Amino acid sequence: MSLNHSEFQSCVQVRPDDIDLFGHVHSAKYLDYFLAARFEQMQKNYNCGMDEFLSKGLGWFLQDFDISYKRPLKLGDTAMVYTNIMELQNNGSIVAFRILNQQSNKLVATGKGKFALVDIQSARSVAIPDWVIERYSINIENP
């Protein structure tokens, strides 16, 4: 089900341990920034945090991650991570993201992640319940 979902934002401060030998954020850290933003936004914007999923024996598994780098972040920068659900599927979702440098307001990276909803006990994917679809179907004019 492809919907036009709202975009939400989270701030992530670049830390010293994020920096690689070239003096900018290591490429693997962008995945961390994306996942940290999603975790925060699930609770804050969707009123559907990981604790609720876990209490129901469910979890989200990242199946695929795609990123295009535009320019580096450096120590002292703040990453503004914007995400929105591109598509809800029977047993998962595709979440788009873009990362901007807060100081310069320039685009740093874009991409998407594909998540499967998984039954923790069986480790198998499950259909997304109606309560999740309802909460994830937020569409506001100015997030």
Q: What is the pLDDT of residues 1-43, one digit of tens each?
A: 445 578 999 999 999 999 999 999 999 999 999 999 999 999 9
What are the boundaries of each domain within the chain?
Answer: 8-136
The residues, ordered by sequence, that sit 6+ positions from 69 with a Cβ below 8 Å of its Cβ are: 27, 30, 108, 109
Q: Does domain 8-136 have CATH number 3.10.129.10?
A: yes
Mean pLDDT, residues 101-105? 97
